[in-house]
Amino acid sequence: MLAPGSTIGILGGGQLGRMMAICAVNLGYRCIGYAPEGDNVADLVCAEFFSNRWDDSEALADFATRCDVVTWEFENVPVSVLGTFDAKCLHPTRIGLETAQDRLKEKRFVEQLGGRPAPYMAIDTRADLVGAVERIGAPGILKTRRDGYDGKGQWRIASPRDVEALPPLAQPAIYEGFVEFEAEFSVILVRGQDGEIRFWDSTRNEHDSGILARSLLPAGTTIEAQVEEARALARQVADAMRYVGVLTLEFFATANGPVFNEMAPRVHNSGHWTIEGAATSQFENHIRAVAGLPLGDTRTVATRVVMENLIGNQVEGAQHTLTDSDVHLHLYGKRSIRAGRKMGHVTRLERA
Average pLDDT over residues 294-309: 98
d(CA 202, CA 312): 26
d(CA 260, CA 115): 7
How many other C-beta atoms lie within 10 A of the C-beta of residue 4? Answer: 10
| DSSP secondary structure, 4-55, as one string | TT-EEEEE--SHHHHHHHHHHHHTT-EEEEE--SS--GGGGTSSEEE---TT
**Cβ pair 89, 6 in contact under 8 A:** no
Q: Which residues are known binding-site members? A: 103, 143, 148-154, 176-179, 184, 207, 261-262
Give the model confidence (pLDDT) of 88-139 as tens digits: 999 998 999 999 999 999 999 999 999 999 999 999 988 898 888 989 988 9
**Spelled out in words, what is the top-level CATH class assigned to the domain 7-90?**
alpha beta
Q: Which residues are known binding-site members for ATP? A: 103, 143, 148-154, 176-179, 184, 207, 261-262
Q: What is the pTM of this model?
A: 0.94
At 80, the pLDDT band (50, 70, 90 cuts) reads very high
Please state the φ and ψ torsions of residue 327, each to the nearest 5 degrees: -105, 140
How many other C-beta atoms lie within 10 A of the C-beta of residue 32? Answer: 20
pLDDT score of 148 more than 70: no
pLDDT score for 168: 79
pLDDT score of 149 more than 70: no
d(CA 234, CA 188): 8
Q: Where are the domains of the chain?
A: 7-90, 119-177, 183-350
| Angle between the N-to-C axes of helices 227-240 and 103-112, in degrees from 0 to 180, rounded to the nearest 10 | 100
| CATH, domain 119-177, list 3.40.50.410, 3.30.1490.20, 3.90.1570.10, 2.30.29.30 | 3.30.1490.20
**Cβ pair 235, 188 in contact under 8 A:** no
pLDDT score for 150: 55
**Domain 183-350 indexed as CATH 3.30.470.20:** yes
Per the omega criterion (within 30 degrees of 0), is the bond before 265 cis? Answer: no
